[in-house]
Amino acid sequence: MSVVLGKQEEALPPILPAAESLPAPKETTTKPVTVIRPRNAWVPLDLWEIWRFRELWLFLTWRDIKVRYRQTVLGVLWAVIQPLFAVLIFTLFFGRLAGMPSDGIPYPLFAYAGLLPWLFFANAVTQGSNSLVNSAHLITKVYFPRLLIPASAVGAAAVDFCIAFTLLLVLYFWHAWRGLIAFPGLNMLLVVPLMVLLALLALGVGLWMSALNVRYRDIRHAIPFLIQIWMFATPIIYPASLVPERYRWILAINPLAGIIEAFRAVCFGLPMDWLSLAISVVVSGAILIVAAYGFRRMEKGFADVI
């Protein structure tokens, strides 16, 4: 191989050996093969790669929780305090003063059971949408599946949810003890698949928002009030039955409505609205798939603009 020099002003002559002169590389299935195509191309999700990095996801989740409660006296108790005080205020204004119906469930319990999944979703999306920008120092220095960063925000929100859920159980048994509601049955276990569905929806929205936020920092300012509007568009502080029959379909388009109503139905043994839950599953799935592919497409440009 010889050294070829070109003058700076001239077009440079080809220097590298012709492709044919080198043997093709042997490909084996055991070695990871990475082909990076130019940006803007649609790329496969490569779930295997994400699975390979699962430990990193756990660590990032742990870090998110640790950072959130750093230097706080009450620590993770905040995960309970936030929904608790929200419920107190809602109970006072909507339950007592406005006399909001609550499907025959004591209003505080009704509101808390709606707020829990909602707060999980809202936290996951809010934290998730800022997560990439906050991890700029990692993104510009090392390659790993970027999807794990917003996914860790969902993980951290899930931990908060689990802590707050224990209080729901306490409230629940206390009300049941006093005979205000029936004792919970085994159908309460259905909470688990519902939360998985909600986590997938939160991941989908979080992926989308975080990727957009890298390029358009407007998202950071838009998210808080989008979340607030979304909250009122979802039957959290009011029951879906309050909405007149002919407008019910508007609620059904909102994938959160079906999930949260189902969450309450499972908790309190109310009749399940299978149709709106089915719509939620379809809409959530569609959001997640589109968001995941869009994210993979956009992630190549993250390091340039972040």
Q: State which amino acid sits at residue 56.
A: L
Structure tokens at 6: 């070109």
Which tokens in the block code for residue 8? Answer: 């700076």
Q: 48-67: which residues touch other proteins (CB under 8 A)?
A: 52-53, 55-56, 59, 63, 66-67
Tell me the CB-side half-sphere exposure of residue 212, using CA atoms within 13 A: 15
Q: Does 231 bind other proteins (CB under 8 A)?
A: no
Pairwise CA distance, residues 189 & 137, whole Å: 41
Q: Within a 10 A sphere around the Cβ of 125, how many other Cβ atoms?
A: 27
Residue closer to other proteins by CB (options 133, 303) is 303
Tracing tokens 């999930």 back to the chain, one arrives at: 259
Site for other proteins contains 1 (CB under 8 A): yes
For residue 256, state whether it binds other proteins (rule: CB under 8 A): no
The residue among 33 and 186 lying less far from other proteins, judged by its C-beta, is: 33
User: Pattern 103-142, binding to other proteins, x per CB under 8 A?
Assistant: ----------------------------------xxxxxx
Calpha distance 209→302 (Å, rounded): 13
Determine the distance from the C-alpha atom of residue 166 to the mean position of all C-alpha atoms in its chain, rounded to a whole number: 21
Pairwise CA distance, residues 130 & 209, whole Å = 8
Q: Would you count residue 3 as binding other proteins (CB under 8 A)?
A: yes
User: What is the nearest approach in angstroms of other proteins to the Cβ of residue 122?
Assistant: 25
Segments of 162-235 assigned E as strands:
none
Per CB under 8 A, does 73 bind other proteins? Answer: no
Report the nearest approach of other proteins to the CB of residue 193 (Å): 28
Asked if 39 is part of the footprint of other proteins (rule: CB under 8 A), the reply reads yes
By beta-carbon proximity to other proteins, the closer residue of 4 and 182 is: 4
**Sign of the torsion angle spanned by Cα atoms 226, 232, 236, 242:** negative
- Which residue number, 8 or 178, has a Cβ lying nearer to other proteins? 8
Angstrom distance (rounded) from CA 132 to CA 215: 11
Binding-site ranges for other proteins (CB under 8 A): 1-6, 8, 12, 15-17, 19, 22, 25-27, 31-39, 52-53, 55-56, 59, 63, 66-67, 70, 137-144, 300-301, 303-304
